[in-house]
Amino acid sequence: MRRALKITSLIAAAGFVLTACSPAAPEAETKTLKVVYQKTDSFTALDTLFQSAKQEFEAANQGVTVALEPIQANDDDYGTKLALALRSPSTAPDVFYEDTFKVRSDVDAGYLLKLDSHLEGWKDWDTFDAGAKAAGLGDDGGTYAVPLGTDTRAIWYNKKVLTAAGVSVPWEPRTWQDILDTARKIKASDASVVPFNMYAGKATGEGTVMQSFYELLYGTESELYDADAKKWVVGSPGFTDSLAFLKTLYDEKLAVSPAEALDANVWKKVFGEWLPQGKMGATVEGSYTPSFWQKGGSYEWAEYGQDMGVTAFPTQTGQAPGGVSMSGGWTLAVGAETKNPDLAFEFLATALNRKNSLAFNIASSQIAVRKDVAADAGYQAANPFVKDVSELVAVTHYRPATADYPRISAAVQEATEAVITGAKSPEQAAADYDTAVKGIVGEAKTVAQ
């Protein structure tokens, strides 16, 4: 049966190629849409989404085959592989899964198709949250990608561990000092527990900045990028303070050991072992955290709803707005070189219709960007933390998605790594970061604080 399917699809593909080659050929009878997305052992929700969208789409469009091509890779490697595929029209997918922070630079590269005319005729577009729509904008103001969902970051803490250390729950730290005080208390009561983990170093890649460093930096008076002046900030005291905070956490052994932090798989231990086994007090992680623990997740943990608590990451001294969160999220985009732009968009619209969005947002613990999904009772009851993490959208920040950003992010990761390994002092690491930034974007595109 499968073999027969393979052979038919091969013949279909061959037929398509042949008809595509001859200019005088009549309207092609079979067309193939190539869809590229990410799939890992612990992230299969997207695969499920596309499988069901494929069925739905093929049933509605006779003669069109959707070829799903999942890439097994982590976020970093997925980005690299996708960019390599997009470089040539012969390998570029028709529809693909795209990180929000790569949208602008990939639009600059000419990889993405402008969707404005298609979106006009799509009635569902009105149900998308206005803020989330901005994620798909290119520098020219056109929309190039449609969001699947978004996320926020928060502190996830184990109530049992905190209670055992004499900390009252629900825990609501107001300042950085509150975090250190609580972490020291936990350490004093049980030395075998990791009190408060924050990622650092290059091994955890973008996780280091999204789920750790930026929660600190954006809670100070400094920023990473001056959006009005379109310049990168250097010499900021907040940058040094944030590094110093990480140094304190690691020096006092309140976080994992530096060696553990520099293991790219450390997050698997956080989700799979330390938090469920009560070996960790708290960690900074994304709103998608419950997806690992809920039924069908990679680290099923039936009691997580009772045992875990969630709270906003505080600002440095408790200044307004009182909390910090970071948001990213992923989108679907259509390849600029696609031969069937209408069909490709139609597939995108099928994948993101109400039914499929709802299922995906629940399965991957994403914050819904469609208002009708957000209002759905099933979505709201998906896990006990939906409401808490959704409220963080009010204090959230987005990364400056310029073409230089990946390199800047790497420079930040390097600074955290230098500090937690003791290779440099926070001042030194911050100064080296400034030098690196000037080297990356040029002195003229930096602004001193």
For binding to another protein (CB under 8 A), which residues are involved?
A: 76, 80, 83-84, 87, 102, 105-106, 108-111, 201-203, 258-260, 262-264, 403, 406-407, 410, 414, 417-418, 421, 423, 439
In the complex, the smallest distance separating the C-beta of residue 42 from another protein, rounded to whole angstroms, is 20
Kindly report the number of other CB atoms within 10 A of residue 63's CB atom. 11
**SS3 at position 372:** helix
Please identify, using beta-carbon distances, which residue of 108 and 172 lies nearer to another protein: 108
Cα–Cα distance measured from residue 73 to residue 79, given in angstroms and rounded to the nearest whole number = 9
- Residues 6 or more apart whose CB falls under 8 angstroms from that of 381 comprise none
In the complex, the smallest distance separating the C-beta of residue 130 from another protein, rounded to whole angstroms, is 27
In the complex, the smallest distance separating the C-beta of residue 62 from another protein, rounded to whole angstroms, is 36
In the complex, the smallest distance separating the C-beta of residue 265 from another protein, rounded to whole angstroms, is 11
The CA-based diameter of the chain, rounded to the nearest angstrom, is 80
In the Cβ-directed half-sphere of 73, how many Cα atoms lie within 13 Å? Answer: 15
Please identify, using beta-carbon distances, which residue of 8 and 257 lies nearer to another protein: 257
Please identify, using beta-carbon distances, which residue of 272 and 290 lies nearer to another protein: 272
Radius of gyration of the chain (CA): 23
Cα–Cα distance measured from residue 19 to residue 343, given in angstroms and rounded to the nearest whole number = 18
- Identify the H or E element spanning 447: strand 446-448
In the complex, the smallest distance separating the C-beta of residue 262 from another protein, rounded to whole angstroms, is 5
Please identify, using beta-carbon distances, which residue of 51 and 428 lies nearer to another protein: 428
**SS3 at position 168:** coil
In the complex, the smallest distance separating the C-beta of residue 20 from another protein, rounded to whole angstroms, is 24
Cα–Cα distance measured from residue 368 to residue 358, given in angstroms and rounded to the nearest whole number = 8
In the complex, the smallest distance separating the C-beta of residue 408 from another protein, rounded to whole angstroms, is 10
| Percent composition of the chain: helix, strand, coil (DSSP 3-state, to 5) | 50, 20, 35
In the complex, the smallest distance separating the C-beta of residue 330 from another protein, rounded to whole angstroms, is 16
Please identify, using beta-carbon distances, which residue of 356 and 446 lies nearer to another protein: 446
Cβ(165)–Cβ(185) below 8 Å: yes
Please identify, using beta-carbon distances, which residue of 124 and 263 lies nearer to another protein: 263
Amino acid at 240: T
Burial class of residue 337, CB neighbours in 10 A (0-12, 13-18, 19+): middle
Cβ(198)–Cβ(313) below 8 Å: no
Strands of 276-353, DSSP E = 280-286, 308-311, 325-327, 330-334
Cα–Cα distance measured from residue 113 to residue 286, given in angstroms and rounded to the nearest whole number = 30
Please identify, using beta-carbon distances, which residue of 79 and 147 lies nearer to another protein: 79
**SS3 at position 67:** strand
In the complex, the smallest distance separating the C-beta of residue 74 from another protein, rounded to whole angstroms, is 12
Structure tokens at 431: 């100064």
In the complex, the smallest distance separating the C-beta of residue 201 from another protein, rounded to whole angstroms, is 7
Amino acid at 306: Q
Please identify, using beta-carbon distances, which residue of 155 and 418 lies nearer to another protein: 418
Please identify, using beta-carbon distances, which residue of 13 and 264 lies nearer to another protein: 264
Amino acid at 188: A
Please identify, using beta-carbon distances, which residue of 126 and 139 lies nearer to another protein: 139
